[in-house]
Structure 1
């Protein structure tokens, strides 16, 4: 054991006015947890920060229970066993654990997923081979279903979900257009990820640029943004277009909470163009697609057909700022926090 105390970041208050702030979080020192019979003590190495966490800060009905005031923020981590009362998980074993924003935790073996690097860094199981990657894979496999020669447009294209969506569409033979914020991110999705084009949604002529990049319209739009971007995409959707909806970052950030959402135009387009607009939470597809996801994306990753980028903050105390930066789009790649200085 490396310390007599552990640390955690708890939800100190619920955001007001839609925007989250540093004051909504609190860093605490707590007693080091002690493993009971059959349990293990884990040192968190990497914590995953993801957009869904913003919704958990609200006391509102959703697909998951809200975070509670005074309790650690939720989150998945890669962790190392440092003390074991279970022969199946010896000291040194690495696992996936849903422990939240903490430095150490105690867990039962049945609640952990042992990891084997197998040529891939274990922290990849928080990104391209984890929940974000599965969100991309399952949404495209079950809803998007890109075909050879179709046009696929991807919102938040440089992020951990959008970047894999576009690469999977490219592998399927589609023309891929990414939407991202800023020249650096747009260059990355074209030059590094192999998208056919990328459009900066901050550009004054964003609508014209997107239309020019999609001369045959849009067959699949992977929705990760909402707001003003959706209103530009909507007129370009082709008959029988498919729209997997996994996120609405424009609303999540709180920036556009009062903006006109264009609901009437959206519903009319769904009707007149026979659009499929399907919201989903990734875990509903786990039984049907998890094995294929690990096989296919793991294979693409090892073969160099899929690339991924990580944006790593150092220290648990810096998780709140890294999280707020992500919500505002200031990150570049999958956001992780390196919690342990020993990794």
Structure 2
């Protein structure tokens, strides 16, 4: 009788342990020192994006996973970015097979054109399309990106000393969100195709952004300036504006190899991870548009981390921040087994969430997998 009782206990204990761990991909032999396998986690999160948000009838990503089929132009650009992240990491055509479908569906949903009233929205799509071209060498993505770049340059005017306006018909509103991504795009186009005009555009846009909307003492990126009044909105400091300023600085550093650009990026990154956080985890910036902000910061922060000239102590500090945020999201803020993310990376969203919040989570997990693959995580 005692032997039978002991046998049952021995059988139940490992089953209980495995149930407690089943939603956290891990590796390693010592169970007490198990670490998350970020490649497995990234596969799970990026496939969840497809399985729960992809609209197979319209060939775009839905606004949420609960049946809302509303089309939103700019989040779909970031959804393509995540698919490209996953494809570049794995070379799995299960991700790339959606590229062409996305290309067709998004253009149709946008009125059968890439043109849009919001310059930042066009910039996000141009950046994603340029990445799709680099990943596939398919000229249609290049052509669409260059078409968008032509529209985007029309948004520059001399109000407030320069800069690309936020929206057509609102020439007085100059925003960080319409200039940071434009500088990244111009710099990447130059690096890809060698057009000197694109390099000059990158320098011009970045210079205006830094001199007008950046507190160079703290690294804070202010949201916008109203050229009618000269008033700068210094109350709105968002992670995505921090991220694109960082991204622009990194791209210019790649072109010129000048440490000053890297220093600009570090200043903005330090402000972000010191001021836009709650207990060292990026804070919630809400749902809707705000749900995407953290993910955009993570994308360009990850680019900064990978720069060879970044000082080693700074890189270590940034990697610790990334690891803490990724582990917190995966262990505390992910609804399993559906793999859903919400705006608060310390809190599970339940059975439904929005596309923007899901994308930010996917970007963080994909970034962790990339850093693991490059052996920067330890």
* Fold equivalence (TM over 0.5): no
> Which structure carries more strand by proportion?
1
Q: Which has the larger radius of gyration?
A: 2
> Which structure carries more helix by proportion?
2
